[in-house]
Amino acid sequence: MAKAVLACLCCMVFLSCAKPTDPESLYNSGGYTVVGRLPLPGYAEDLEVKDTLAYVAQGEGGLAIVSIADRAKPRLLSVCQEGVRGTSHKLALNNTSVYIAANTFGVNVVDASNPLAPVATASNLAMKPAQSLHVFGNYLLAAIGETGVKIAEISTPTQPDIRGGLQNPGYALGLATTSDSSRLLVACGGMGVG
């Protein structure tokens, strides 16, 4: 189970899935077991988990890094707001670099090699309006609405180098690659998947 976390009302809630029947609320969980909770200073919008750390995009609150080593007692390690521009909506990870989609403010990059003191290394990258992000090898792909997909080379992870883009029908909102990494899939709003 890669992700079993629900972000709601500025809280991070850890759930254990047994046989869910109807998860209506956190208190009437319909088969889920609440393992732990952690209020956060921002509005939790997206998260990525790597090992014992959860990276949380928290709207205007930037990036929060949470230790989930003890899932019953998640612990806020740090928050990175300084240098993070716009509203943090979506995240993508590449080792210890965190890429944050900030809509009209493009992409922010945070070096989280020290999870106790993350540092923004780039902000307002010209990948706008960044809706969603996906790391594919040494490339960061950004879904940027009606303009399509922008591509940045990230061999230097904290300083992406924008290389170009792809045009697609519709409004690019989400990205994924196939399991064999041979194809890029783009969620194109009303136009379906391209």
Domain ranges of the chain: 5-191
pLDDT digits (tens, 9 = 90+) for 143-194: 999 999 999 999 999 999 999 999 988 899 999 999 998 999 999 998 889 8
User: Which residue has 């230790």 as its token pair?
Assistant: 67
Summarize the confidence of residues 54-76 as an average pLDDT.
Answer: 97
Q: How far is CA 121 from CA 79, 113, 124, 130, 160, in A?
A: 15, 12, 11, 17, 10
What CATH code would you report for 5-191?
2.130.10.10
Q: Is the peptide bond before 129 cis (omega within 30 degrees of 0)?
A: yes
pLDDT tens digits, one per residue of 71-93: 999 999 999 999 999 999 999 99
3-class DSSP state of 93: strand
Task: Name the residue with higher pLDDT: 166 or 4.
Answer: 166
Rounded (5°) CA angle 165-167-172? 95
> In the predicted model, is pLDDT for residue 3 greater than 90?
no
pLDDT in tens, 40-57: 999 999 999 999 999 999
Higher pLDDT, 114 or 181: 114
- Which ranges of the chain does DSSP label H, i.e. alpha helix? none
CB 111 within 8 A of CB 138: no
- pLDDT band of 10, cuts 50, 70, 90: very low
Of the listed ranges 7-11, 97-101, 179-183, the one predicted with least confidence: 7-11
Distance of alpha carbon 130 from its chain centroid, rounded? 12
The percentage of residues in the chain with a pLDDT greater than 70, rounded to a whole number, is 85
- Which residue has tokens 């509005």? 43
Is 191 strand, coil or helix?
A: helix
Least confident of 12-21, 75-84, 121-130, 165-174: 12-21
Report the candidate in 141, 138, 193, 151 with the shortest Cα–Cα distance to residue 169.
193
Q: Is the pTM of this model over 0.85?
A: no
28: pLDDT confidence band, cut at 50, 70 and 90? Answer: low
Report the chain's mean pLDDT, rounded to a whole number: 87
Q: What pLDDT is recorded for position 111?
A: 98
